[in-house]
Amino acid sequence: MLAQIRSELLKLVTVRTSLFFALAAAGFVALVLTIQAATAGGEFMGPLSDAATQRALFLTAGAAPLIAIVFGCLGVTSELRHHTIVSTLLVDASRIRVITAKTIATLLAGAGLGAIAVAVSIVGTGLILLVTGTSLSVEIVDVVAAGAGTIGGAALGAVFGLGIGGVVRNQALAVGAVLILMLAIEPLVTSLLPDVGPWLPSALVTVLAEAQTGGPIGLAAAAITLAGYALVTTVGAALTLQHADVT
Amino acid sequence: MTVLTIDHLTKRFGDTVAVDDLSFTVHPGVVTGFLGPNGSGKSTTMRALLGLITPTDGTATLDGHRFRDLDDPALKVGAMLEADAFHPGRSGRDHLRILATSARLSRGRVDEVLEIVGLTDAADRNAGGYSLGMRQRLGLAAALLGDPQVLILDEPANGLDPQGVRWLRDLLRFHASRGATVLVSSHLLAEMALIAEDVVVIRDGRLVTHDRVTAITAAANGSAIVVRSPQRSELATALTAVGADLTPAEDDQLLVRSIDAPTVGRVARQEGIELHELTPRAASLEDAFLELTN
Ligand SMILES: Nc1ncnc2c1ncn2[C@@H]1O[C@H](COP(=O)(O)OP(=O)(O)OP(=O)(O)O)[C@@H](O)[C@H]1O
Ligand SMILES: [Mg+2]
């Protein structure tokens, strides 16, 4: 099993897509950080010395889990699109083992993506505070919780994306489905059914990435529910692959 | 020593019957050619053997085991199905490293197969930029990675240059001579006649024939003994008497079928007929193939 996981990780690091996603996550966080720092103390944000403002700077990494969902989706569908799944199944005939190895590799890669975003937000915020001579007022434990939530959310998000990709199979359709789910269906459901909205994937990811406490859903419930989504879609992907004709 | 067994294999894709109650066995020690017109079900049969598609009915097994039940398939079976199954943005070497890692083979083995297929210089370039022949070589490198005892190759000679075709021929024969089981599909029939000893011919997903290449070409209509004699009509009468099938050809030639060359010679001597030519001519595999599949 370890060999298969290493093989799957090697697949991810030997194409540019992963580098692109890592750069996109880092770049996105850096950009939002810069904008927030520039507008701090203005109309929409409190001064940099406020704990709330500093917290908001650290939370810029929260975009990583959403990027990770698309990343996971692309990883598995690219294998189907380029038919490399054929050579994969020729060296390991157990499809369950293949999808399990893929899931673990994607979980690790998603966590890596989250870690990059968190690192950029921490280093970036640190630099901003240093340059402006502002002292740290946010609770460290808050920052750690949000960082851990972001990394965990990105790991689970990537696996959720993998599951959707494995079920839909067509790359363009799968990525389209993920985007429509996050950008259209979730906001729609949230506005129509306010009780259901908080239980949808992006809302759960936000709870984790922002280490929200005191909301309708606790951290543990959010993590468990998100893991449940990831598990359900991955089992769906495994069943699909198990019975599919690979041509 | 592995025997491949296709047993009453049927595969339907919706309304299309790709393979229809097909049965044959492939034995070790010889190269078996797998022939059939486009869409006759060769690739589908190979995919069933490799566990990539689930048969609608029947089985395709290796020594009685389904491919999907093999523990270390890369070490037992090397297969190549299509030349395009690579990520265009990944180098040939990385493609092989990924497979080698999964099969717990060393990086050294990757370098070895790259050398064997002559791809060492291009190994670090992205596979998307490879020519057809280079992609074919990369596919062959992947098949050879685990030094398997079974080779299942779908049109491996496609796109190879003449040196490559000769190299492939030697490679397949070498593997067969070591006791490997080799099943190769191809549309290059002249090449197949040189490589394969056994041939399986299918049409519309059904078996047409499974025999030695020599037997198939000898049985084809194009096979005949060319005889030339200034006394053609006397010879014709004498040969008809011993059961020959005759077709007069240009000049003073006769095409003789149904009896062998020594019989023709003996009859001519007994009758005192002068012969200017006595040449057994085998039909080409191509002639035989066209006859069998039309
Ligand atoms: N995945 C698929 N879905 C639907 N039909 C298929 C599929 N794969 C093969 N077929 C059909 O099955 C039949 C046999 O195809 P197959 O690819 O096995 O033929 P082949 O002998 O390999 O042909 P060629 O010489 O052109 O490679 C064809 O009619 C083909 O259209
Ligand atoms: Mg084919």
Structure tokens at B80: 């190549």
Read off the pLDDT band of A215 (50, 70, 90): confident
Look at the domain B220-282 and name its fold. Alpha-Beta Plaits (3.30.70)
- For chain B, give the mean pLDDT: 93
Read off the pLDDT band of A48 (50, 70, 90): confident
Task: Report ipTM for this prediction.
Answer: 0.91
Chain B residues in contact with A11 (beta carbon < 8 A): 98
Read off the pLDDT band of A79 (50, 70, 90): very high
Nearest CA in chain B to A92: B73
Most confident of the following: A146-155, B234-243, B282-291: A146-155
Mean pLDDT of A72-99: 94
Per domain, the residue ranges of chain B are: 4-218, 220-282
Give B206's strand partners: B203
Read off the pLDDT band of B68 (50, 70, 90): very high
Residue among A96, A32, A86, A247 at smallest CA distance from B18: A247
Q: Do A14 and B98 touch (CB under 8 A)?
A: yes
Q: Point out the residue among B77, B85, B146 whose CB comes nearest to the CB of A87.
A: B85
**CATH number for the domain running over B4-218:** 3.40.50.300
- Burial classification of residue A111, based on how many CB atoms lie within 10 Å of its CB (0-12 exposed, 13-18 middle, 19 or more buried): buried
Predicted pLDDT at B250: 82
Chain A residues in contact with B81 (beta carbon < 8 A): 86
Q: Identify which of B40, B52, B53 to mutate to test ligand 1's pocket (most ligand atoms within 8 A of the CB).
A: B40
Name the helix (H) or strand (E) containing B215: helix B213-219
3 state SS of B166: helix
Predicted pLDDT at B83: 66
Q: Is the confidence at residue A90, as pLDDT, over 90?
A: yes
Predicted pLDDT at B217: 84
Distance between CA atoms of B145 and B134, rounded to whole angstroms? Answer: 16
Mean pLDDT of A194-222: 90
Structure tokens at A211: 């280490």
CB A48 within 8 A of CB A124: no
- Mutation pick from B46, B97, B102 vs chain A, by most beta carbons of A within 10 Å, is B102
CB A50 within 8 A of CB A137: yes
Q: How far away is chain B from the Cα of A12, in angstroms, using its nearest Cα?
A: 10
Q: Is the confidence at residue B151, as pLDDT, over 90?
A: yes
CA A190, distance to chain mean position in Å, is 20
CB contact A94 to B (< 8 Å): yes
Share of chain B above pLDDT 90, in %: 77
Predicted pLDDT at A40: 83
Instruction: Please list, residue by residue across B133-168, b when 16 or more beta carbons sit within 10 angstroms of its beta carbon and e when fewer do.
Output: bbbbbbbbbbbbbbebbbbbbbbbbbbbeeebbebb
Q: Which amino acid is at B168?
A: L
Mean pLDDT of A158-180: 95
Predicted pLDDT at B288: 85
Q: Do B68 and A94 touch (CB under 8 A)?
A: yes
- Comparing A111-115, A119-123, A194-198, B174-178, the range with the smallest average pLDDT is A194-198
Chain A residues in contact with B70 (beta carbon < 8 A): 93
Residue-wise pLDDT tens digits, B109-144: 999 999 999 999 999 999 999 999 999 999 999 999
Distance between CA atoms of B63 and B257, rounded to whole angstroms? Answer: 41
- Mutation pick from A87, A89, A100 vs chain B, by most beta carbons of B within 10 Å, is A87
CB contact A104 to B (< 8 Å): no
Structure tokens at B236: 């014709």
Residue-wise pLDDT tens digits, B69-111: 998 999 999 999 976 789 999 999 999 999 999 999 999 999 9
Read off the pLDDT band of A47 (50, 70, 90): confident
3-state secondary structure chain A: CHHHHHHHHHHHHCCHHHHHHHHHHHHHHHHHHHHHHHHECCCCECCCCCHHHHHHHHHHHHHHHHHHHHHHHHHHHHHHHCCHHHHHHHHCCCHHHHHHHHHHHHHHHHHHHHHHHHHHHHHHHHHHHHHHCCCCCCCHHHHHHHHHHHHHHHHHHHHHHHHHHHHHCCHHHHHHHHHHHHHHHHHHHHHHCCCCHHHCHHHHHHHHHCCCCCCCCCHHHHHHHHHHHHHHHHHHHHHHHHHCCCC
Q: Is the confidence at residue B188, as pLDDT, over 70?
A: yes
The CA-based diameter of chain A, rounded to the nearest angstrom, is 62
Predicted pLDDT at B117: 95
Read off the pLDDT band of B281 (50, 70, 90): confident
Question: Which residue did the predictor score with more confidence, B142 or B290?
Answer: B142
